[in-house]
């Protein structure tokens, strides 16, 4: 009797161990299943768009004629965002890690993180109501003075709701991502490298150029790639800011469209084949962002031992 009462709780404990480790394993597998399911269900629902006769797809020329202008539009918006955000983000990261007074640095980092906390729909509303209006005189100036460049061809949009405005709003949204990742990496620069450079008489900029930037380069690259992933998939900023249209080279006329905004604007009223087309567009976006993110993660893991960014 006593022996059973001694072994009983042990048995219960062993069962508990099994149940608990099984539960954690199941949760982990569920995540893999969800990601697999994302791909699977998108493919299943998208198949009609690939197999339907070309004339039934919006535009009447088949799925690929429909998708490629908005893929290009997505890339244009994302590239604008990165061209603007990357230098500023690296500057801000350097400011917080190496220039700001030590006592202020963490507070300033929090201020930049606030940029990431603002919901995307608020950025979209801000871009449409404030930025587009304020920036349209600048577009007129660009059209008048740099109009010979295809990207600044006039006449400029009177409302300012152009792909360039959408790109600027996207830049604001990816800025905190690139900043916080680069900042972490800059802070991990070995102190001895920095002090050695300073001891040899380097100015602060020379120290940063010789010690901090070479150390942080892979981290910066992957931070920019992660920013790119965000900019490609961002919906609201484009849906609210851009007055969309056909693909145009000029950045200061209305026109162009991105995948995410196309889905958001059309999905709520879509039915039948249109739903499949939009889900197929989502699948294309998923594949593009997946590729970008995997490359970024691969760069991070390759340099993990000395960059520590993950």
| Site residues (CB under 8 A) for other proteins, limited to 15-54 | 16-17, 19-21, 23-32, 34-35, 37-38, 41-42, 44-45
- By CB under 8 A, residue 82 contacts other proteins: no
- By CB under 8 A, residue 55 contacts other proteins: no
Residues 6+ apart with CB under 8 A from 39: 286
Of 60-68, 137-145, 188-196, 227-235, the segment contacting other proteins by CB under 8 A is 227-235
- By CB under 8 A, residue 95 contacts other proteins: yes
Phi, psi angles (nearest 5°) of residue 229 = -60, -40
| Spatial distance between the Cα atoms of 155 and 68, rounded to a whole number of angstroms | 25
Contact residue for other proteins among 181, 212, 223, 236 (CB under 8 A): 236
Minimum CB distance to other proteins smaller for 148 or for 201 = 201
Contact residue for other proteins among 63, 123, 186, 215 (CB under 8 A): 123
Of 63-71, 139-147, 156-164, 256-264, the segment contacting other proteins by CB under 8 A is 256-264
Contact residue for other proteins among 47, 79, 108, 213 (CB under 8 A): 108
Of 64-72, 157-165, 199-207, 249-257, the segment contacting other proteins by CB under 8 A is 199-207
Question: Token pair of 140, please?
Answer: 């007129």
- By CB under 8 A, residue 141 contacts other proteins: no
Contact residue for other proteins among 78, 81, 128, 170 (CB under 8 A): 128
The residue count for binding other proteins (CB under 8 A) is 93
- By CB under 8 A, residue 221 contacts other proteins: no
| Spatial distance between the Cα atoms of 17 and 247, rounded to a whole number of angstroms | 59
């Amino acid at each position: 009797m006593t022996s059973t009462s001694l072994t009983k709780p042990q048995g219960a404990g062993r069962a508990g161990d099994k149940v608990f480790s099984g539960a954690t394993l199941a949760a982990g597998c569920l995540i893999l299943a969800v990601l697999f399911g994302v791909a699977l269900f998108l493919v299943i629902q998208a198949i009609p768009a690939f197999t339907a006769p070309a004339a039934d797809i919006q535009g009447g020329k088949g799925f690929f004629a429909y998708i490629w202008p908005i893929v290009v539009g997505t890339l244009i918006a994302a590239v604008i965002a990165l061209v603007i955000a990357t230098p500023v983000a690296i500057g801000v990261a350097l400011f917080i890690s190496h220039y700001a007074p030590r006592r202020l640095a963490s507070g300033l980092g929090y201020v930049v993180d606030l940029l990431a906390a603002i919901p995307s729909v608020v950025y979209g509303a801000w871009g449409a109501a404030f930025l587009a209006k304020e920036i349209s005189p600048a577009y007129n100036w660009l059209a008048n003075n740099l109009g010979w460049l295809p990207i600044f061809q006039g006449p400029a949009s009177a409302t300012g709701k152009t792909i360039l405005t959408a790109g600027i709003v996207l830049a604001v949204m990816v800025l905190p991502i690139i900043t916080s990742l680069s900042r972490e990496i800059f802070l991990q620069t070995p102190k001895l490298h920095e002090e050695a450079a300073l001891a040899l008489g380097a100015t602060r900029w020379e120290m940063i150029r010789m010690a901090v930037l070479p150390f942080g380069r892979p981290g910066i690259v992957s931070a920019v790639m992660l920013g790119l992933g965000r900019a490609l998939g961002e919906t609201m900023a484009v849906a609210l800011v851009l007055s969309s249209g056909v693909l145009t080279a000029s950045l200061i006329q209305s026109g162009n469209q991105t995948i995410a905004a196309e889905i958001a604007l059309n999905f709520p009223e879509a039915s039948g084949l249109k739903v499949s087309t939009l889900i197929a567009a989502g699948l294309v976006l998923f594949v593009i962002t997946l590729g970008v993110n995997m490359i970024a993660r691969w760069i991070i893991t390759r340099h993990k031992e000395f960059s520590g960014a993950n």
